[in-house]
Amino acid sequence: MQYQLLETPIEYLKGVGPNRGEVLKKELQIFRYKDLLNFYPYKYLDRTKFYKINELSTSLVSEIQIIGKIIHLKTVEQKRGKRLVATFTDGTSKMELVWFQGIKWIKENIALNSPYVVFGKINHYNNIFSMPHPEMDLLEDYKKNNQTALQAVYPSTEKLQQKGITNKVITRLMQQVFMETQHLFMEIFPDKLMDELKLIPKRDAFLNIHFPRNGDLLSRASFRLKFEELFFIQLQLLSKNLVRKNKIKGFAFEKVGDYFNRFYKEHLPFPLTNAQKRVLKEIRNDMAHEVQMNRLLQGDVGAGKTIVGFMSMLLALDNGFQACLMAPTEILANQHFIGIQELAEKAGISVGLLTGSTKTAERRELHEQLENGTLQILIGTHALLEDKVIFKNLGLAIIDEQHRFGVEQRSKLWKKNYIPPHILVMTATPIPRTLAMSLYGDLDVSVIDELPPGRKPIQTLHYFESKRLKVWYFIKQEIAKGRQVYIVYPLIQESEKLDYKNLMEGYEAISRDFKHPDYTISIVHGQMTPKEKETEMDRFVQGKTNIMIATTVIEVGVNVPNASVMIIESAERFGLSQLHQLRGRVGRGAEQSFCILMTGEKLSNDSKIRMDTMCRTNDGFEISEVDLKLRGPGDIMGTQQSGILNLKIADLVKDQDILKLARHKAIELLKEDIRLEQPEHQKLKEIFESLAQKNNIWNYIS
């Protein structure tokens, strides 16, 4: 009965109706009673504290409340329309209350010389304090209605304000929904979990999140609701992982044969780090069983993920299967192809490259070789997903920088074989632990957290524009030593013309200071054809040019060990992860490398934190944690996956401890009762199944 009540369309709630219902649906996605209950306040105001007018100061930034009387009203003409000004006093001093809208109604309804409680933000102008559009209650009504010390403040929009759906209105609607549902909220957690975590009942949690009696009950309500939200996310991800391991069969690569062993003993270009060995062991263990591997491989820029990926491919080849690697851009696919072909040649392995630029005749040949099995490894962009691309027996699919691919695209790789191939997802974008647990909770995670020996940490320096001559002098010194330099300009997605202008202005200024023939310059930008880009890149790779001027197209996939300096222009316009990725283009040789961040003189607080973080540390995981705090989870993952993190109350940055606890409890529960069949888990199972039916993105991650 109560469940059905919560499904009632919002327009049927007393005080809503069709018009308000339409606005609530459009602006706040509140369609049913339960959506209103799950519309949580973003802050609370302490309504126990009252100020005196003679205590007011310009340092007060939050809303305040005062008890006093209106002793005078006047209408003031302005350039556009009028404003209504009331003189308000509490006996200690006077201030003004100001309205720019609804003047006629306010004039008719205000009672002069009656005690009011006014509430709002204060302004200070010409030595007078004023409060625009205050909330007002007659003192008598305030005492009757104000039942809680802490008053909830809900998110709002301009449209809601225009339609008169104020915070007061939302609060009244919330009271109404509690009255109509009679606080009958079903408890879903088993008693054992409730006792263990000292969780307050669901009905008390809802009541105290919207109408908290005190601070303690508010924090207990908040904990309960956050835990529940994160618990169900983890339950979905973990059960999916367990179901996959029980249901989805994979190929058992039992053999570690000639390809792997000979490469390891005779052709390995450098000794593996302990982290690489550990990760390879984890991958080998996964692929040795008849269960599909689904593993995320995280490693910082330059940590050596490619060699681990290649050696995983050799395991597939040793067992008579093919392997593929899919990258998000042609530049990165080309880079992988060059690197892997070099390793594969020594072992007599055939490797192909398939991208949007591959010519028709080459494609036909590739398709043929794939189907008859003579092509062992295929590397490419999303061109790999085309229906014409048919493998003889695909055993391992590696996806690089997977957050750039849509879910649908990735699932197409699964269908390239009658039994899904093993999946290895690689990323050079270090993902904060909380995000990895929430986005990739159904993948097993491996981390390469050690750089190859002999690599010197990159020195990062921040200079303001006024120090440009000093930076130019430094570049000339580095070039004199035979080194090469990148100079990168920001990419402003909204305006390719502006990017081009910035880049070309920079190019002209650099050409004047670094004159030919003493210095040679390559340039790469988004308005060039793939062929032109490749030619310019090649000149730089081969050392024919000293300086590479580019937009962020070189962020991933360029490997020039001789390049020792990365200059990032207008560095304040880049995100932390992008700065870190760009920095990773240098430091690939044995020489000391440098990253120089050039910015304007005026920096926002966030920009200062980004510059300081880059100069302080080279640790991508530490940088990703700072980035998460600055930008929030949605921005970090980009539009492809930000919808996944549309949490109602929990916050992945602030609630890391609750997330870990929720994951731990979900693991415990599934170990005890994987199918949720025990009587005490029936309510959990109901909610779990209803979430699964919604086909939300959680069901398709990876």
| Domains contained in the chain, number | 4
- Residues 466, 604 within the same domain: yes
Structure tokens given for 569: 């222009």
- CA 334/CA 557 separation, integer angstroms: 8
User: If pLDDT is split at 50, 70 and 90, which confidence band does 661 have?
Assistant: very high
- Residues 335, 370 within the same domain: yes
Q: Is the pLDDT of residue 534 over 60?
A: yes
Q: Are strands 64-77 and 82-89 parallel, antiparallel or unpaired?
A: antiparallel
Peptide bond into 328 cis (omega under 30): no
Angle, CA 162 vertex, CA 160 and CA 163 arms, to 5°: 65
| Residues 6 or more apart whose Cβ sits within 8 Å of residue 623 | 430, 576, 577, 580, 613, 614, 617
CB burial class (10 A; 0-12, 13-18, 19+) of residue 95?
buried
More reliable by pLDDT, 24 or 126: 24
119, 145, 171 - which closes a domain:
145
- Residues 13, 111 within the same domain: no
- Residues 272, 126 within the same domain: no
- Residues 105, 119 within the same domain: yes
User: If pLDDT is split at 50, 70 and 90, which confidence band does 210 have?
Assistant: very high
* Domain span including residue 551: 459-617
701: in domain: no
Q: Which residue has the tokens 């010409």?
A: 126
- Residues 62, 108 within the same domain: yes
Q: Is the pLDDT of residue 498 over 60?
A: no
For 519, left (φ over 0), alpha (ψ -120 to 50), or beta? beta
What CATH code is carried by the domain that includes residue 57? 2.40.50.140
411, 427, 443 - which closes a domain:
427
Q: Got the DSSP string for 225-293?
A: HHHHHHHHHHHHHHHHHHHHHHH-B--------HHHHHIIIII-SSPPPHHHHHHHHHHHHHHTSSB--
Q: Is the pLDDT of residue 444 over 90?
A: no
User: If pLDDT is split at 50, 70 and 90, which confidence band does 216 have?
Assistant: very high
Closest CA to 292 of 237, 253, 234, 239: 253
* Cβ proximity of 44 and 120 under 8 Å: no
Q: Is the pLDDT of residue 636 over 60?
A: no
Q: What is the rounded average pLDDT of the residues 388-402?
A: 88
- CA 429/CA 403 separation, integer angstroms: 9
Within 296-329, residue ranges assigned H as helices are 305-318
443: in domain: no
Q: Is the pLDDT of residue 701 over 50?
A: no
- Residues 355, 373 within the same domain: yes
Instruction: Please tell me the predicted confidence (pLDDT) of residue 329.
Output: 81
Instruction: Please tell me the predicted confidence (pLDDT) of residue 638.
Output: 47
Residue 399 parent element (H or E): strand 394-400
- Residues 121, 137 within the same domain: yes
What are the pLDDT digits (tens) for 41-91?
A: 998 888 778 999 998 988 877 788 999 999 999 999 888 888 899 999 999
User: If pLDDT is split at 50, 70 and 90, which confidence band does 437 have?
Assistant: low
Q: What is the rounded average pLDDT of the residues 196-207?
A: 94
- CA 270/CA 304 separation, integer angstroms: 10
402: in domain: yes
What CATH code is carried by the domain that includes residue 472? 3.40.50.300
Least confident of 8-22, 46-60, 151-165, 440-454: 440-454
605: in domain: yes
- Cα distance from N-terminal residue to C-terminal residue, the chain: 38
Q: Got the DSSP string for 122-182?
A: -EEETTEEEEES-EEEEHHHHHHH---SEEEE----HHHHHTT--HHHHHHHHHHHHHHHT
Q: Give the C-alpha distances (Å, rounded to integers) separating 246 from 19, 105, 250, 284, 289.
A: 51, 68, 11, 19, 12
553, 584, 617 - which closes a domain:
617
Buried b (16+ CB within 10 A) or exposed e, 162-192: ebebebebbbebbebbbeebeeebeebbbee
- Residues 20, 52 within the same domain: no
- CA 384/CA 75 separation, integer angstroms: 71
Residue 84 parent element (H or E): strand 82-89
User: If pLDDT is split at 50, 70 and 90, which confidence band does 94 have?
Assistant: very high
More reliable by pLDDT, 587 or 510: 510
- CA 100/CA 487 separation, integer angstroms: 52
Instruction: Please tell me the predicted confidence (pLDDT) of residue 409.
Output: 61
272: in domain: yes
Residue 448 parent element (H or E): strand 444-448
The order of strands in the sheet holding 563-568 is 459-464, 594-599, 563-568, 484-488, 547-550, 521-524
| Residues 6 or more apart whose Cβ sits within 8 Å of residue 421 | 250, 251, 292, 321, 394, 395, 396, 397, 413, 414
- CA 600/CA 582 separation, integer angstroms: 19
Closest CA to 283 of 261, 249, 313, 322: 313
175: in domain: no
What are the pLDDT digits (tens) for 321-356?
A: 999 999 888 878 888 898 899 999 888 999 999 998
191: in domain: yes
Instruction: Please tell me the predicted confidence (pLDDT) of residue 89.
Output: 95
User: If pLDDT is split at 50, 70 and 90, which confidence band does 27 have?
Assistant: very high
Within 347-384, residue ranges assigned H as helices are 360-372
- Residues 403, 501 within the same domain: no
334: in domain: yes
- CA 221/CA 210 separation, integer angstroms: 9
Instruction: Please tell me the predicted confidence (pLDDT) of residue 118.
Output: 92
- CA 470/CA 443 separation, integer angstroms: 48
Instruction: Please tell me the predicted confidence (pLDDT) of residue 265.
Output: 92
Q: Give the C-alpha distances (Å, rounded to integers) separating 522 from 332, 344, 475, 486, 550.
A: 19, 30, 15, 9, 8
- CA 360/CA 342 separation, integer angstroms: 25
Q: Which residue has the tokens 């390559």?
A: 522
The order of strands in the sheet holding 94-99 is 123-125, 128-132, 94-99, 82-89, 64-77, 115-120, 135-138
Write down the mean pLDDT value for the chain.
85
- Residues 19, 69 within the same domain: no
Q: What is the rounded average pLDDT of the residues 281-287?
A: 94
Angle, CA 284 vertex, CA 277 and CA 374 arms, to 5°: 110
Q: What percentage of the chain carries pLDDT values higher than 70?
A: 89
CB burial class (10 A; 0-12, 13-18, 19+) of residue 575?
middle
- Residues 38, 84 within the same domain: no
- CA 145/CA 33 separation, integer angstroms: 23
Instruction: Please tell me the predicted confidence (pLDDT) of residue 104.
Output: 87
Q: What is the rounded average pLDDT of the residues 462-469?
A: 94
